[in-house]
Structure 1
Amino acid sequence: MKKKLLPIIMILVLLIAIPVQAFAKMPEVDMQLRYLNIGDSIAYGLSAAPGLSYFERYAKYLEDNYGLDENWPYPEAGGAVNAGVEGLDSMELLEALQENTQLKGLVMQADVITISIGGNNLLTPVIGAVAELYEVDPSSYPSSGAFIQALLGEIGAEGEMAWNMRLAAFTASALSSDPGTLGYALEARTEQFLSDWPAILDEIEELNPDAHIIAMTLYNPIEEEDNLDLYHRYEELVRPMNKAIMKTQNRAMVAKVEKSFAKEPDAVAFKLTWTDGYPPVLIDPHPTTMGHGIIFEELMKGRSPRSFQ
């Protein structure tokens, strides 16, 4: 019995000898994170209310919970830089990571990098097809928002019958795989993304192998009830792009935006059907303020940036 008690007594003595401070909660270290957001018009924050883009929300979350380097890369930035560019596609992002000295410098220094890219691979040909239908030049407008407003004016002036005829022609072109059609261009741009995506990660990892990267999957802005043919066509195109992103989960965390958006129609204000005598006024494929909030929630589901230091 005494032999059994001896180890217990020794353990008790050791516990008494250890200072109480050793059991106290260790003070949290101010990490002074550097947050960089790169990508397209979604990354840029288009269609979100001021201060409520996913970038602004996530930057505040990082600041409140982990701390940001207030002097990076300059005091006014406060440790968070939004390098999103309206209209950017995967080819242009890859080129920028290879050749843009300023962007490369930011990537090299960043602790956390969020990426939204791929949507314009499909949207750019769509804009081109719509511009051709209505004989307007998108480049003559200062922003995609201004182009959309001008297009709405054309749609409203022509009326429902003309809209439906143009939509039928647009749909037929989108569903086709023949050279010269919209569908042919969309398929080519999807293939381009499949080539660009791993190369984008290669560039980031070469510049900064320690960065915590979060990539966002691509959502379908078209509702099934609104236009079944275009909904399924878009799904055919975006599905392999999302699979490519999911395949790289060992290299980047993935925010599964498309699943959350599918559950919330108001995440995007997009509608093609002309109803009740009024033209379709919901033709903005970008996330609404609610949509940006959903993206932010998905970003927070990833591992804590603390574990990547």
Structure 2
Amino acid sequence: MATVFSINTQIEPEKGTKMKKSFFKSITGRFLIFLLMLSMIFSTGVFAAVNSDSNESSHDTIIDTQANGDIGVQYRGHVQNKGDVPLPVGNFVTGPGELGSQGEGLRLEGLRIELTGTVPSDAGISYQVHVQNKGWMGVVENGNFAGTTGEGLRIEAIKINLTGLDGYEVYYRGHVQNKGNIPVIDDAWGWVKNGAELGTTGESLRLESIEIKIVKTETYTALGDSIAYGMSATPGSGYVNLFYNDLIGVSGNEDLTLANLAVPGYTSSQLLGQLQSDPATITTLGQAKVITVSVGGNNILAPVIATLAAAFQLDPTSPTFPTDLATALAQPGAKDVITAAMPTIQTNVTASVTQFGTDWPQIVATIKTLAPQADIVVTTLYDPISSQDPLFAVFDPAIQTINTAIKTPGAGYRVADVYTAFATYQGSEPLVNFNWYTGNLDPHPTTAGHELIYQSHLNAVVINSY
């Protein structure tokens, strides 16, 4: 494999000592300052991720409660003056049809609810009613009767839950005496869900009708590192949040939920481990309609800091490591240590970038296995350093190598080309916090940078050929 991380430490003899000092000022000196700031900004997050073999929950037992097909609901009940409904007796209303009546002043006295479709053996639906003069009655489930008959007592409220059924939620709404259709959300007839109370207690009002539906849970799942996590953006203005707000404005996505599973400091290997062994991630991806991935930057950063930890004889697992490394980098002679460590840094970064190339096809294959119907969008890495800066030549080749892997033709996902968007940006607002002149060496995107990453997601395309 071609070298992806290179610092030329050879000085031509005829240039002399003056040239050597200039070199250190332009390359090694800046590299020293850069690493000093990075150690304070990133090392805790990087090593929290690097030193964990897996997520805390990775050894939990995975219980398969995922339905294999569409799940529905049906129900029947007992209504004042009408008896058992719907007719003929024994029939069911298919959700979300109405059980009961409106405008007739008739109370709903009892009901039975059951799931339909391919229901896992341990899954079910439970429900509990609040009845006039009796209060909350016991929880029943799976078609058993809740309420009363022959006593002239009204149901006043109800709670409904799904049990042992991942990937679905139960929604319900109704019509209540003197209140009309409830709940009212944003001036419209809405829904409550998953055990919330529908109706009233203590007001002596009858529940007259109910509608119930089972909704398959769908998520927008964000995977990756601190950029996907939203670090350095104004709260709520990370690209993940911006993209989510755009998605839920599209017809059919109104109930889409956001699951941001990004972990600051994660490398490609850690993301792969998360996908393969973390139960929460596996379950969430099974519900994913849209998935975005931003990873690779720590494949470059983590080995740099790890190598420096070894060079300065520091323990990267120590809680004081960020301070210890910052102190070491500020000491006289740090330049010499860094210069001596450069070949190892180059080797380790090259190995880590090569590892990305190995991990990436497995990451994509695992995501597609867990979420075969999801729309996947992947970001390229941007370079936070100006092309005019000496450090550009240090980091950009590694970034480009990772981006080449991401932009594999025919990989079956859309690519948000953030690298190009940042490189060709003509606006006045800075896209990254990195600025030599202000002393801010945080390479994370600014809020404006996150906005451009979001726009890149909107413009993402499938790459079929170079």
Q: What TM-score results when the alignment is normalised by the length of structure 2?
A: 0.47
Stretches of structure 2 lacking an aligned partner (at least 5 in a row): 1-215
Which stretch shifts more, 186-195 or 257-266?
A: 257-266
Amino acid corresponding to residue 366 of structure 2 in structure 1: E
The code of the aligned residue for 1:234 comes to: F
Q: Residue 407 of structure 2 corresponds to which residue in structure 1?
A: 246
Matched residues, number: 245
**Cα distance, 1:54 vs structure 2:** 0.3
Check 1:291–1:171 CA distance in 2 against 1; reply closer, same or farther (3 A cut). Answer: farther
Counterpart in 2 of 1:114?
A: 292
Say if 1:171 and 1:46 are closer, same or farther in 2 by CA, change over 3 A. Answer: farther
Letter in 2 for 1:281: G
Alpha-carbon RMSD: 3.3
User: Match for residue 90 of structure 1?
Assistant: 268
Tell me which of 280, 285, 305 is aligned to 1:102.
280
- For residues 32 and 108 of structure 1, do their structure 2 counterparts lie closer, same or farther at Cα, with a shift above 3 Å needed? closer
Rg larger in structure: 2
Give SS of 1:50's match: coil
Higher share in strand? 2
User: Residue 129 of structure 1 contacts residue 170 of structure 1 at CA under 8 Å; is this kept in 2?
Assistant: no
Mapped partners of 1:32, 1:303: distance in 2: 26
Asked whether the equivalents of residues 309 and 325 of structure 2 are also in contact (C-alpha less than 8 Å), the reply is: no
- Structure 2 matches for 1:291-302, cutoff 5 A? 291-302=449-460
- Map 1:166-181; keep pairs closer than 5 Å: 166=334, 170=338, 173-174=341-342, 176=343, 181=344
Change (3 A) 1:212 1:152: same
- In 2, the alpha carbon distance for the partners of 1:303 and 1:224 equals 26
Partners of 1:287 and 1:128 in 2: how far apart? 24
C-alpha change, 1:152 and 1:95, in structure 2 (3 Å) is closer
Provide the rounded CA distance (Å) in 2 between the counterparts of 1:109 and 1:101: 13
Change (3 A) 1:263 1:136: farther
1:195 equivalent to 2:358? Answer yes
Describe the SS at the equivalent of 2:373: coil
Which residue is 1:223 aligned to?
A: 386
Long gaps (5+) in structure 1: 1-30, 71-77, 305-309
> CA offset at residue 67 of structure 1?
5.2
**Superposition map of 1:101-180 within 5 A:** 101-129=279-307, 139-140=317-318, 147=322, 166=334, 170=338, 173-174=341-342, 176=343
Task: After superposition, give the CA deviation of every residue in 1:81-130 in whole Å (9 maximum; x if it has no partner).
Answer: 11000111100111111111110111111010000011111111223345
| TM-score (normalizing by structure 1) | 0.69
Task: Give the Å deviation of 1:219.
Answer: 1.3
Percent identity at matched positions?
34
Partner of 2:224: 39
Is contact 1:32-1:69 (8 Å) kept? no
Q: Which amino acid in the other structure matches residue 126 of structure 1?
A: V
Q: Distance in 2 between matches of 1:248 and 1:117?
A: 18
Tell me, in whole angstroms, the C-alpha distance in 2 between the residues paired with 1:35 and 1:290: 22
Change beyond 3 A, Cα 1:170–1:249: farther
Question: Within the alignment, does 1:266 sit opposite 2:430 as a pair?
Answer: yes
Provide closer, same or farther for how the CA distance between residues 93 and 291 of structure 1 changes in structure 2, counting only shifts above 3 A: same
Number of the residue aligned with 1:79: 257
What is the rounded CA distance, in whole Å, between the counterparts of 1:250 and 1:153 in structure 2?
A: 41
Counterpart AA for 1:291: G
In structure 1, distance between residues paired with 2:324 and 2:392 = 22
C-alpha distance in structure 2 between counterparts of 1:151 and 1:53, whole Å = 31
- Larger relative contact order (CA 8 Å, sep ≥ 6): 1
Contact 2:312 2:337 in 1 (8 A): no
Structure 1 residues 123-177: Cα deviation after superposition (integer angstroms, max 9, x where no partner) = 11223345567777665559xxx95xx5998599x59xx6xx7468647744x3x
- Is 2:376–2:414's contact at 8 Å kept on the other side of the alignment? yes
Counterpart of 1:62 in structure 2 is: 247
Task: Provide Cα deviations, 1:24-46, integer angstroms capped at 9, x if missing partner.
Answer: xxxxxxx9852110111111111
1:225: how far off? 2.5
AA in 1 matched with 2:228 = A
Greater share of helix: 1
Aligned to 1:84, the other structure's residue is in SS state coil
Whether the 8 Å CA contact 1:36–1:107 is kept in 2: the answer is: yes
Is the Cα–Cα contact under 8 Å of residues 68 and 80 in structure 1 kept in the other structure? no
SS in 2 for 1:292: helix
For each residue in 1:221-257, what CA deviation from the matched residue of structure 2 results, as whole angstroms up to 9, or x when unmatched?
A: 222323x2x3123122121211111115541100000
For residues 227 and 385 of structure 2, the distance between their equivalents in structure 1, rounded to whole angstroms, comes to 16
Instruction: Say if 2:417 and 2:460, in contact at 8 Å, map to a contact too.
Output: no
The residue correspondences of 1:14-25 to structure 2 (distance < 5 A) are none
